[in-house]
C-alpha cells in the first residue's frame, strides 16, 4: 500500500513552495515522523515529515516549485528497510564505480551566470547578505545553498542557479536591493579535476570521514538561521559547535548551550605569575578599551524607521494610572495548579489584561479605531497585538478576535506566538493587522515608560513591573502589589475624556476580577 504525500498548506497567502533539499533519497526507508525534506516559501522554511514508515519514492526534485496540494512523494508502507538499504547501496556503488572509472574533466563553457537578489515578499525592498556558505572561487553545484540573506521579516537561503565556479560580488553584511547583483557563476561542464595524488588523498580522506561520521550533507555543521543568530550574538564560531540535528545540523538548542571558548590557559598563568602592579598609570594603560561596529539588520532598520515616523506623524500623548494587582495575584495563587492541569497552560497576567482590554475597547471604540486618510475606521472586533522580544528584535504578532477567546484560549495563543517569534517562524499574516497593542516592559523590570503607538493603530497599553508599595485604604495604610499602567494614544481621534475613561475602566476590571469574568 502506498501513501501519497502532498504539499501541505503553510499559510493563508502562500500558494506555492520550493523544495529546498531532500534529507532522504529516492528508494530509502523512512520512519514515521522523520523529516524527509525542506520546503521553502516566500516567507519562511518548513520541514516535511513522513506520514508513515516505508520506502520513499520522490515525485519532485530539489529546486522544483510545487503548488499547495501537489504530490511531492509517495511512501510504500509494505516496503522493507533491508530491501531499500540494499537498493540504495547498489545504486551508490554503481555511481561510485562509474565516477572512479570515467571521471568527467571540468571544462568551461564560457557562459557566466549572474545571480540577482530574488523577490522574497511583497513589502520587502532590500536584504542583507548574512553569510557566504561557499567561498569565492569554490565549485558549486546547481541548487546548492551558497549564501544566507536576511530581510526585515525572515532569513532565506540562496541556492546556486548553475554549476560552476563561484565569483562573489557582494560581501557579508552588505545591504542589497531586490534585483541587485549578488554573485556570478562561471558555468562549467563537470567539477574541476584534481591531480592524481590529490585525488587519491581526497578519496582516502573521504572514505575515512564517511566511516567515522556517516552520511554528510549540506546540513552537516551548518547552523539554522535561528541558531546562527544566537551564535553570532554570543560570539561563538559555528565550527566549534557540534550539531545534534538532522545530518549534524546545528539547531537552536545547540546554539543556546554553546559557550564561547575561554582564553588560553598559558596566557592566564603567565598573567597570574606577574607581580601586582604598583604604578597606577601602568595599570590604566593595560585596561581593555575594545569596541566593535555592526551593521543594523533589516528588521532593526524597519523598526527604527517606523518608530520615527509615528513620533513625527501622530499627535501622541500618554496618560497614566495604577492598579492594585492583589486580587488577580490571589486568584492565580488559588487556581493556577488546577488551571494548568485542565488546560495544559499557565495562568498568566496577559489573559487578564487582554480580556479587560477587550471589554474596555467595546465601551470606548475610538481607542480601537484608526485613521485612514480623511476617515476614521472603527472596528467591532478586537485584534490584540502582543509586543514580543525575539532574538532578531521586537515583533508584534496578533491575537485575532481576542474578545471571543476564553482565558485559556488567550494564554495558548500567547505561548504559541511567543514560541514562533523566538524561533523566527512567524508568518507575515501573523504580524499584520491588529487594532490595539499590549506591551509588557515589566518583565524586564521597567517601572514606568511611555510606549510608542504601533501604527496605524491609535493606542497602546504599557504594563510595568509589580512593586509592593504603601497605599491608603479606607483610612489605613496597607502594603499592596501595585503596577503602573501607561496608555499612549493618538490625540487626533482620541480625546482626553476617552483615554482617561478607558484606563479607569481597565483599572476597575483588573481590581475586581469577578466583574471581568461576568463582563460587567
Read off the pLDDT of residues 447-461 as tens digits, 9 standing for 90 and up.
999 999 988 899 999
CA separation for the pair 361, 369 (Å, rounded): 9
Other beta carbons less than 10 A from residue 92's beta carbon: 12
Locus of grid cell 524561533:
423
* Residue 172 confidence (pLDDT): 85
- The answer to whether 471 and 480 are in contact (CB under 8 A) is yes
Judge whether 495 counts as a catalytic residue.
yes
Q: Is the per-residue pLDDT at 483 higher than 70?
A: yes
> Of the ranges 250-259, 318-327, 511-520, which is most confident?
318-327
- Note the pLDDT tens digit of each residue in 189-231: 877 765 444 444 444 444 444 444 445 555 567 776 667 767 7
Which one, of 390, 420, 386, 421, lies nearest residue 402 by Cα? Answer: 386
Domain with CATH 3.30.559.10 in the chain: 298-518
CATH tag, 2-101: 2.40.50.100
3-class secondary structure per residue, 302-330: HHHHHHHHHHHHCCEEEEEEEEECHHHHH
Of 73-87, 89-103, 196-210, 267-281, the least confident: 196-210
Domain with CATH 2.40.50.100 in the chain: 2-101, 107-192+205-252
How far is CA 489 from each of CA 318, 339, 455, 484, rounded to the nearest angstrom? 6, 34, 11, 16
Q: Is the per-residue pLDDT at 278 higher than 60?
A: no
- Name the fold adopted by 298-518: Chloramphenicol Acetyltransferase (3.30.559)
Judge whether 64 counts as a catalytic residue.
no
Average pLDDT of the chain is 81
Angle between helical axes of 326-343 and 496-511 (0-180°, round to 10): 70
CA separation for the pair 157, 19 (Å, rounded): 12
- The Cβ-side half-sphere exposure at 331, using a 13 Å CA radius, reads 18
- The answer to whether 489 and 317 are in contact (CB under 8 A) is yes
What are 404's three cell numbers?
A: 471571543
Per-position DSSP letters for 120-145, written without gaps between them: --TT--EEEEEEESS-TT-EE-TT-E
CATH tag, 107-192+205-252: 2.40.50.100
**Position 492 confidence tier, pLDDT thresholds 50, 70, 90:** very high
- What's the rounded mean pLDDT across residues 256-268? 61
Amino acid at each position: 500500500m502506498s501513501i501519497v504525500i502532498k504539499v501541505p498548506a503553510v499559510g493563508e497567502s502562500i500558494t506555492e513552495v520550493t523544495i529546498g533539499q531532500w534529507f532522504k533519497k529516492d528508494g530509502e526507508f523512512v520512519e514515521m515522523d522523520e523529516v524527509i525534506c525542506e520546503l521553502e516559501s516566500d516567507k519562511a522554511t518548513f520541514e516535511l515529515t513522513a506520514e508513515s514508515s516505508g520506502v520513499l519514492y520522490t515525485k519532485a526534485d530539489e529546486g522544483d516549485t510545487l503548488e499547495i496540494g501537489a504530490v511531492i512523494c509517495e511512501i510504500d508502507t509494505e516496503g522493507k528497510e533491508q530491501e531499500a538499504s540494499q537498493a540504495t547501496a547498489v545504486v551508490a556503488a554503481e555511481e561510485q564505480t562509474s565516477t572512479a572509472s570515467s571521471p568527467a574533466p571540468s571544462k568551461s563553457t564560457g557562459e557566466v551566470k549572474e545571480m540577482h537578489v530574488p523577490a522574497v515578499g511583497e513589502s520587502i525592498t532590500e536584504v542583507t547578505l548574512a553569510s557566504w556558505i561557499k567561498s569565492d572561487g569554490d565549485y558549486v553545484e546547481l541548487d546548492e545553498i551558497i549564501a544566507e540573506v536576511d530581510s526585515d521579516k525572515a532569513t532565506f537561503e540562496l541556492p546556486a542557479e548553475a554549476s560552476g565556479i563561484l565569483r562573489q560580488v557582494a560581501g557579508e553584511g552588505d545591504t542589497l536591493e531586490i534585483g541587485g547583483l549578488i554573485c556570478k557563476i562561471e558555468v562549467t561542464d563537470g567539477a574541476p579535476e584534481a591531480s592524481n595524488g590529490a585525488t587519491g588523498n581526497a578519496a582516502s580522506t573521504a572514505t575515512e570521514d564517511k566511516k567515522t561520521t556517516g552520511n554528510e550533507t549540506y546540513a552537516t555543521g551548518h547552523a539554522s538561521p535561528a541558531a546562527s543568530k544566537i551564535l553570532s550574538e554570543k560570539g561563538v564560531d559555528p565550527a566549534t559547535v557540534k550539531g545534534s540535528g538532522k545530518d549534524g545540523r546545528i539547531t537552536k538548542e545547540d546554539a543556546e548551550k554553546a559557550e564561547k571558548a575561554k582564553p588560553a590557559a598559558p596566557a592566564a598563568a603567565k598573567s597570574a605569575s606577574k607581580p601586582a602592579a604598583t604604578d597606577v598609570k601602568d595599570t590604566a594603560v593595560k585596561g581593555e578599551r575594545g569596541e566593535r561596529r555592526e551593521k543594523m539588520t533589516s528588521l532593526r532598520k524597519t523598526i527604527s524607521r517606523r518608530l520615527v515616523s509615528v513620533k513625527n506623524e501622530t499627535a501622541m500623548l500618554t496618560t497614566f494610572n495604577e492598579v492594585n494587582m492583589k486580587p488577580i495575584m490571589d486568584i492565580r495563587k488559588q487556581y493556577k495548579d488546577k488551571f494548568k492541569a485542565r488546560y495544559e497552560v499557565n495562568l498568566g497576567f496577559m489573559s487578564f489584561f487582554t480580556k479587560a482590554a477587550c471589554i474596555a475597547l467595546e465601551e470606548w471604540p475610538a481607542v480601537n479605531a484608526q485613521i485612514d486618510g480623511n476617515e476614521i475606521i472603527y472596528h467591532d472586533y478586537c485584534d490584540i497585538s502582543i509586543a514580543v522580544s525575539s532574538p532578531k528584535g521586537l515583533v508584534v504578532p496578533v491575537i485575532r478576535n481576542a474578545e471571543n477567546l476564553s482565558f485559556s484560549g488567550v494564554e495558548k495563543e500567547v505561548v504559541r506566538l511567543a514560541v514562533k517569534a523566538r524561533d523566527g517562524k512567524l508568518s507575515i499574516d501573523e504580524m499584520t493587522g491588529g487594532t490595539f497593542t499590549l506591551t509588557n516592559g515589566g518583565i524586564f523590570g521597567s517601572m514606568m515608560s511611555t510606549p510608542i503607538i504601533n501604527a496605524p493603530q491609535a493606542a497602546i497599553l504599557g504594563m510595568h513591573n509589580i512593586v509592593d508599595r504603601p497605599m491608603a485604604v479606607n483610612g489605613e495604610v496597607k502594603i499592596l502589589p501595585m503596577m503602573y499602567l501607561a496608555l499612549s494614544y493618538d490625540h487626533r481621534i482620541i480625546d482626553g475624556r476617552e483615554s482617561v475613561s478607558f484606563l479607569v475602566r481597565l483599572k476597575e476590571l483588573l481590581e475586581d476580577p469577578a466583574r471581568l469574568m461576568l463582563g460587567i
